[in-house]
């Protein structure tokens, strides 16, 4: 696809695939991830250079984009925890997550851009697995409850990150398996208080773990999930109807399964069942290598976006067709 870059909105930050600028704990953008067209007439679609978080509040700019949509399809980023969902005709939104029961039509799920943790050493096999969680455990405030309710009115529990994280943590505790955790009172990736929210502690916990609890955040997904895969560890995810990026048919994906759980009994069974399929160091090293390769070939941000925009218009639109069920992901897609 050839993309025409729309005019910028006010003086807001541009998305990283346009600006090349990334935040903390993210992989750098590796060159141009799409083919740019100098005119809208020669382009296949129009790319909005800012996220909907910024431009959705400007009626004049939305009118400008809707005028462009009469000529070409509009592609825009709407990757905030609480998507803005601007009313744009003939458009596709790039999202990192869908709310429970939200339809994929008109949206394409892309991975978070995360720091590649393949520098962490492989784990040695042991008879019992180690599980960890280091992260933010939010309180269920009235504001959070209202926002979650607006996004997922039919799924009050699954749509609320404070409830999901608290319940998931308790369920893993009840398994009586080896579980180390450090619960924080603010979001660590912002790096606001590095002395308290140490990236080193977070990385050390992953390095010393076989399974890492990866509950949803305010978005129904977690950047942690992709970091865990890049390290070759196994993400342990509570079932909240999470939807994953579709894997391009042209890229190989090994037969890897990641446990989703809905109860304490269920999570223990899934962990032990997964662990029983591993028998020795050689087997475990091979699994960790496969998980890392799966991430780097399929879900690393640069590679995924570049592959996405290398599709023709028909292939690109196919990525927004609603055929994948979240409950199938651990049994079929991975």
Q: Which of 218, 190, 198, 209 is nearest to 79 (CA)?
A: 218
Could you give the CA distance from residue 135 to residue 174 in angstroms, rounded to a whole number?
19
Structure tokens at 44: 């296949």
Contacts of 182 (CB under 8 A, 6+ apart): 133, 134, 135, 201, 205
Cβ distance 189 to 223 under 8 Å?
A: yes
Could you give the CA distance from residue 210 to residue 123 in angstroms, rounded to a whole number?
7
pLDDT tens series, the chain, 334 aa: 999 999 999 889 999 999 999 998 999 999 999 999 999 999 999 999 999 999 999 999 999 999 999 999 999 999 999 999 999 999 999 999 999 999 999 999 999 999 999 999 999 999 999 999 999 999 888 888 888 888 898 898 899 999 999 999 999 999 999 999 999 988 766 555 554 457 899 999 999 999 999 999 999 999 999 999 999 999 999 999 999 999 865 444 445 667 788 888 899 999 999 999 999 999 999 999 999 999 999 999 999 999 999 999 999 999 999 864 433 333 333 2
Q: Where are the domains of the chain?
A: 2-95, 130-295+325-333
Per-residue model confidence (pLDDT) at position 332: 30
Per-residue model confidence (pLDDT) at position 308: 97
pTM of this structure: 0.91
CATH architecture observed for domain 130-295+325-333? 3-Layer(aba) Sandwich (3.40)
What are all long-range contacts of 38-43, with beta carbons under 8 Å and residues at least 24 apart? 38/4, 39/4, 40/4, 40/68, 40/71, 40/72, 41/71, 42/2, 42/4, 43/2, 43/3, 43/4, 43/72
Number of H helices, E strands in the chain: 11, 11
Max CA pair span of the chain: 62
Q: What are phi and psi of 107, to 5 degrees?
A: -140, 150
The residue with tokens 């799920």 is: 109
Q: How far is the CA of 150 from the CAs of 77, 99, 211, in angstroms?
A: 20, 10, 32
Q: How far is the CA of 164 from the CAs of 35, 156, 279, in angstroms?
A: 40, 10, 32
């Amino acid at each position: 696809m050839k993309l025409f870059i729309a005019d910028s909105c006010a003086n807001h930050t541009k998305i990283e695939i346009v600006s090349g600028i990334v935040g903390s704990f993210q992989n750098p953008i590796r060159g141009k991830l799409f083919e740019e067209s100098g005119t809208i007439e020669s382009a296949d679609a129009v790319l909005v250079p800012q996220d909907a978080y910024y431009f959705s509040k400007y009626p004049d700019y939305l009118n400008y984009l809707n005028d462009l949509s009469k000529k070409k399809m509009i592609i825009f980023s709407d990757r905030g925890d609480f998507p803005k969902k601007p009313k744009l005709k003939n458009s596709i939104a790039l999202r990192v997550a869908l709310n429970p029961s939200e339809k994929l039509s008109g949206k394409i799920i892309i991975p978070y851009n995360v720091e590649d943790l393949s520098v962490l050493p492989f784990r040695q096999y042991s008879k019992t697995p180690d599980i960890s969680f280091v992260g933010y455990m939010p309180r269920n405030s009235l504001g959070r409850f209202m926002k979650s309710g607006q996004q997922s009115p039919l799924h009050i529990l699954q749509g609320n990150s404070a409830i999901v994280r608290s319940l998931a943590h308790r369920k893993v505790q009840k398994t009586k398996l080896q579980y180390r955790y450090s619960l924080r009172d603010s979001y660590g990736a912002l790096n606001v208080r590095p002395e308290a929210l140490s990236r080193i502690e977070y990385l050390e916990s992953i390095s010393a773990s076989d399974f890492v609890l990866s509950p949803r955040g305010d978005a129904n997904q977690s950047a942690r999930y992709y970091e865990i895969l890049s390290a070759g560890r196994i993400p342990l995810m509570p079932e909240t109807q999470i939807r994953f990026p579709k894997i391009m048919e042209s890229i190989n994906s090994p037969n890897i399964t990641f446990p989703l759980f809905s109860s304490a009994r269920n999570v223990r069974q899934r962990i032990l069942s997964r662990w029983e399929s591993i028998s020795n160091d050689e087997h475990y090293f091979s699994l960790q290598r496969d998980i890392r390769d799966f991430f780097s070939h399929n879900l690393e941000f640069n590679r995924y976006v570049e592959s996405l925009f290398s599709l023709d218009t028909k292939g690109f639109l196919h990525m927004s067709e609603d055929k994948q069920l979240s409950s199938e992901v651990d049994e079929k897609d991975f």
